[in-house]
Amino acid sequence: MKLWGGRFTAEEDQLTAMFNDSLSFDKRLYRQDITGSIAHAEMLGKQKIISSEDAAAIVDGLKGILSDIDAGKLEIKDAEDIHSFVEAELTARIGEAGKRLHTGRSRNDQVALDMKLYTRDHIDQMIAVVTELHDTIEAIMKDNLETYMPGFTHLQKAQPTTLAHHFGAYREMLRRDLSRLVDTRTRLNECPLGAGAFAGTTYPLDRDMTAKALGFDEATVNSMDSVSDRDYLIEYLSDLSMLQMHLSRLSEEIILWNSNEYQFVKISDAYSTGSSIMPQKKNPDIAELIRGKCGRVYGALMSLLTSMKGIPLAYNKDMQEDKELSFDAMDTVEHSVILMNGMLKTMTFNKERMADSAKRGFTNATDVADYLVRKGVPFRTAHGLVGELVLLCEKKGCALDDLSLDEFRSVCDKIDEDIYKAISLETCVKTRKTKGAPGWLIENADEIF
């Protein structure tokens, strides 16, 4: 029978049950549900709302259920949701005392608590895996402070930079992602347990005790909001969307760099798959999937925002819709981060190819103009003169560095022998010393890492 079967007479319709029941997906909340119930039972005992013997029997019973589920000895099934399952199992194990657990509590504050605990645990897990990815990126940066490569704008070669500088941009994105995760965790850390259905309860609950026992900073201050707030989930899904977007951008670069045309990197076999028809193919599927899965993560965010927008206070069953999509987004982003980390750790960088590419495509054209500025030519004039030099190179099919001094002078007689050093790849990178630039990174690496 359902927890609430007392006032019902007709058999439940099959489709109604299927549509309503949440056990198939909320069973993953079992640890949080039992942990919350243990804190609740201990508080009920301390406040003498139930006897200390009953409280002890409940806590023991709950611990047994938890360890049996963990050990694979107890299968979670045959209940409407995880809350009903745990209560029924407890009562089957310890008898009457089990029926006292739900005193002063509703499934509304119970599920609000479970989801907050689950989200908080998941944020901690994400902070750990994102930190690992951040550290892998830092290691790549340290190894590649002077690995030259072209930087792009509009996907066209623009100016030379280093691989460390390029990865440094992703390090910054991840640093912001990490600080968003910490912020969300801080804001969610108020305990809804004790809000009851929405109006609190007449029992003398000690809400501060349960809040503390469960690692919250404090108990929530409005019991209606406590059971109907899902802001923290929306905020977390937004953090996850942003993080997945960053992973997707990095995936896109890896896919390009791994292509036959670029050949800047080689993805390890462990993160590639083959083609069923073309024997030569090794495809960057994992990077493509990380990019593609952005859709479902953003979808979860939009879906929950939309589900929440018309819900009057307080609890309504619409809120059960928070779970499947949030769990899916959490799994997706966590796995994406772990896979990205593994892919980066095993990826090889073709440094010669990158440097070679930086030398072609006139990435030092700005530096020729800057050289002329140092010789007294106004920048706008210099820009035009270098344009002529580029045209000359295109006609000859060579790089700026390959022009003879006479050819340089045919366009501007202020150019001397020192032009070659001034526009070498090394000079172009190392003299970009403004804060945040690749030359600055080389000089300040010791302080940054």
Q: CB under 8 Å to 361, separation ≥6 — which residues?
A: 150, 156, 157
- Minimum distance of ligand ARG from residue 4's CB (angstroms): 8
Which residue's CB is nearer to ligand ARG, number 298 or number 315?
A: 315
Per rule CB under 6 A, is residue 164 in the interface with ligand ARG?
A: no
Min dist. Cβ of residue 43 to ligand ARG (A)? 21
Determine which helix (DSSP H) or strand (DSSP E) holds 425, and give its type and residue range.
helix 425-430
**227/267 with CB nearer ligand ARG:** 227
Q: State the angle between helix axes of 52-70 and 30-46 in degrees (0 to 180), rounded to the nearest 10.
A: 170
User: Which residue has the CB atom at the shortest distance from ligand ARG?
Assistant: 320
Pick between residue 4 and residue 379 the one whose CB is nearest to ligand ARG.
4
Q: Does 410 bind ligand ARG (CB under 6 A)?
A: no
Q: How far is the CB of 321 from ligand ARG (least distance, A)?
A: 8
Under a CB-based contact definition with an 8 Å cutoff, are residues 166 and 357 in contact? no
Assess 337 for contact with ligand ARG (CB under 6 A). no
State the nearest-atom distance from the C-beta of 117 to ligand ARG, in Å.
14
Residue for token pair 């309860």: 201
Among 81, 89, 177, 239, binds ligand ARG (CB under 6 A): 81
Helix (H), strand (E), coil (C) string for 216-283? CCEECCCHHHHHHCCHHHHHHHHHHHHHHHHHHHHHHHHHHHCCCCCCCEECCHHHCECCCCCCCCCE
Catalytic residue list: 154, 275
To ligand ARG, the closest distance from the beta carbon of 108 in angstroms equals: 5
Print the binding letters for residues 272-311 with ligand ARG: x by CB under 6 A, - otherwise: ----------------------------------------
Q: Give the separation between CA 412 and CA 390, rounded to whole angstroms.
A: 13
Q: Compute the C-alpha angle 328/197/82, nearest 5°.
A: 40
Concatenate the DSSP letters of all residues of 306-334 into one string.
HHHTTPPSS--GGGGGHHHHHHHHHHHHH
Q: Is the dihedral of CA 158, 164, 165, 171 positive or negative?
A: positive
Residue from 47, 91, 268, 320 binding ligand ARG (CB under 6 A): 320
Sign of the C-alpha dihedral computed for residues 385, 387, 390 and 392 taken in this order: negative
Nearest approach, Cβ of residue 314 and ligand ARG (Å): 10
CB 239 within 8 Å of CB 184: yes
User: Pattern of binders to ligand ARG over 26-45, x per CB under 6 A?
Assistant: x-------------------
Q: Give whichever of 132 and 321 is closer to ligand ARG, judged by the CB atom.
A: 321
144: nearest Cα among 353, 444, 442: 442
Q: Which of 101, 111, 267, 294 binds ligand ARG (CB under 6 A)?
A: 111
Tell me the window of 58-66, 313-321, 324-332, 349-357 that interacts with ligand ARG (CB under 6 A).
313-321
Q: Which residues bind ligand ARG (CB under 6 A)?
A: 22, 26, 81, 107-108, 111, 315, 317, 319-320, 323
